[in-house]
């Protein structure tokens, strides 16, 4: 009659809780349009009119709890709301749930926090999306996080057991600033390296006075090393002391091994709304006056 995907679609359209959406589809024999009307009639779809809006603001939030490292990104429509306590409280509530429960997918999180999400949308007055999360269970390792600019950038790092929080924190700061894609050079695929070498070779050949091919080949090899320094964490110059690499810093501070990292940048890849700054200010003022 209907699938779990239909339930998710209805939730996204209306902002209602998962159980409410499931009940609406049962009552309407799986008819999506009738289900939307059903929820509106019941007064559950308080966020229905906000479903088509663009939620491209928000925050990245991280916490270490019960041996678990959790980082999430939750989006809203305006920076004004993103900086508000009501929104931040909701984000922390979601992160707490992930840290304390065995969740395996974003759908699990949204289903469990659907009622709280609907309530937050109704209270705040903007579309809110729980966009993504990552969870690291540090049973035989150490984990720490770093949040930059009040939630614009977040980093979660897992390191070998016994690593000090200060060292992991420094590495997280490094990742936030330098944006590596990999930990080590052997993680970069051959296809990616070959593609980069082709680009570098073409650049050298297109120079005003190109050098002979054997020299270009040597130049490309040198530039690939520079490429590794850009994309591989351990090869990067350490942000707090550019005279050493991150690899050297870790070796000198307990020979720490970095096992995993995740870097979130708030709003990356999202469509941005076209409101002007003045429009956002006026909208914020209007909310305060209500």
Q: What are phi and psi of 189, to 5 degrees?
A: -70, 155
**pLDDT given at position 273:** 56
**pLDDT given at position 51:** 54
C-alpha–C-alpha distance, residues 238 and 139, integer Å:
28
DSSP 253: T
Contact 157, 66 (CB under 8 A): no
**pLDDT given at position 275:** 47
pLDDT digit string (tens) for the chain, length 290 residues: 788 888 888 877 776 778 888 889 999 999 988 888 788 766 655 544 555 566 789 999 999 998 899 999 999 999 999 999 999 999 999 999 999 999 999 999 999 998 999 899 988 988 899 999 999 998 889 999 999 999 999 999 999 999 999 999 999 999 999 999 999 999 999 999 999 888 888 888 888 888 888 898 888 888 899 999 999 999 999 999 999 999 999 999 999 999 999 999 999 887 665 544 445 444 544 554 45
**Host H or E run for residue 190:** helix 190-205
**pLDDT given at position 277:** 41
C-alpha–C-alpha distance, residues 170 and 176, integer Å:
10
Reported pTM: 0.73
Q: How far is CA 261 from the centre of its chain?
A: 12
């Amino acid at each position: 009659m209907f699938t779990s995907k239909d339930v998710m679609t209805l939730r996204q359209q209306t902002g209602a809780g998962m159980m409410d959406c499931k009940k609406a589809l049962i009552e309407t024999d799986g008819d999506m349009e009738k289900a939307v009307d059903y929820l509106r009639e019941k007064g559950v779809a308080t966020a229905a009119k906000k479903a088509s809006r663009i939620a491209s603001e928000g925050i990245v939030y991280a916490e270490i709890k019960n041996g678990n490292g959790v980082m999430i990104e939750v989006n809203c429509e305006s920076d004004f709301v993103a900086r508000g306590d009501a929104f931040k409280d909701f984000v922390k509530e979601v992160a707490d749930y992930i840290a304390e429960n065995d969740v395996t997918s974003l759908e699990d999180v949204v289903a469990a926090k659907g009622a709280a999400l609907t309530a937050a949308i109704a209270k705040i007055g903007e579309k809110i999306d729980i966009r993504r999360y990552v969870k690291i269970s540090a049973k035989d390792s150490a984990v720490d996080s770093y949040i930059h600019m009040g939630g614009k950038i977040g980093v979660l790092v897992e390191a070998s057991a016994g690593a000090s929080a200060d060292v992991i924190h420094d590495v997280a700061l490094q990742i936030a600033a330098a944006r590596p894609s990999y930990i080590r050079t052997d993680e970069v695929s051959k296809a990616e390296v070959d593609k980069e070498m082709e680009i570098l070779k073409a650049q050298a050949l297109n120079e005003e006075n190109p050098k002979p091919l054997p020299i270009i080949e040597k130049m490309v090899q040198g530039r690939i090393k520079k490429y590794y320094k850009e994309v591989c964490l351990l090869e990067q110059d350490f942000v707090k002391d550019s005279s050493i690499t991150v690899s050297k810093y870790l070796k000198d501070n307990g020979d720490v091994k970095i096992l995993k990292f995740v870097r979130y940048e708030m709003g990356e890849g999202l469509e941005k709304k076209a409101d002007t700054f003045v429009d956002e200010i006026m909208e914020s003022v209007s909310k305060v006056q209500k």
